[in-house]
Structure 1
Amino acid sequence: MIVLYFYTTAGCHLCEQAEVLLNELASHVQLDITIVDIATDEKLIEQYGVRIPVVKRLDVPDDLGWPFDYGQLKVYLSLN
């Protein structure tokens, strides 16, 4: 199972698009997704505010910020 954080916030239409991609992928691969609303933490707003949606694996140092497509998401999650 792949454990990851999905950084997002309310009213973010790009985040909604990314969530569709994650849900599609989750129908094929076991994902443990923790949804994190960056609006709850000033540090998260500074770190991800202009980059959301962002997907972050807990076992690798890099993250994947928008824009990304299904193929790029698979590569980031090492599924290709």
Structure 2
Amino acid sequence: MNVPVEPEMRVVLYGRAGCHLCDQARTMLERVREETGEGFVEVDIDTDDALREQYGELVPVVTVDGVQQGYWRIDAARVRAALA
């Protein structure tokens, strides 16, 4: 079993292929990036057994500085506040 490593970007979108809520979260994070200049990285949980077990059906999950900001439908204002 692999131990998940938090990517070095401040904002991480955990998701999976074919997830319409993940597509919505990505669009929201792209808007936040345009406003704040803070990029994000995407991690496909299905490429890692530990991540798949940790997040399962909760995707998408967004973290800022390693702190979970939400899952399923993520609030852009909460992400912006966490970045401030």
Q: Same fold (TM over 0.5)?
A: yes
Q: Deviations over 1:6-38 (max 9, x none)?
A: 101100000001111100111111213111000
Q: Report the CA distance shift for 1:72/1:57 in structure 2 as closer, same or farther (over 3 A).
A: closer
Query: 1:8 and 2:19 equivalent?
Result: no
Instruction: Report how many residues are paired.
Output: 75
Q: Mind listing any 5+ residue stretches in structure 1 that lack a counterpart? A: none
RMSD value, Cα: 1.7
Identity of aligned residues (%): 33
Structure number with higher helix proportion? 2
Query: 1:31 and 2:33 equivalent?
Result: no
Q: Mind listing any 5+ residue stretches in structure 2 that lack a counterpart? A: 1-8
Shift of 1:70: 2.2
Instruction: Tell me the TM-score normalised to structure 1 length.
Output: 0.79
Q: Deviations over 1:36-80 (max 9, x none)?
A: 00010011011112211111123x5x30222223223323x244x
Question: Are the equivalent residues in 1 in contact too, given 2:64–2:83 (CA < 8 A)?
Answer: no
Separation of aligned partners in 2, 1:32 and 1:54: 16
Question: Are the equivalent residues in 1 in contact too, given 2:64–2:79 (CA < 8 A)?
Answer: no
Q: For residue 49 of structure 1, give the secondary structure of its aligned residue in structure 2.
A: helix
Matching of residues 48-59 of structure 1 within 5 Å? 48-58=55-65
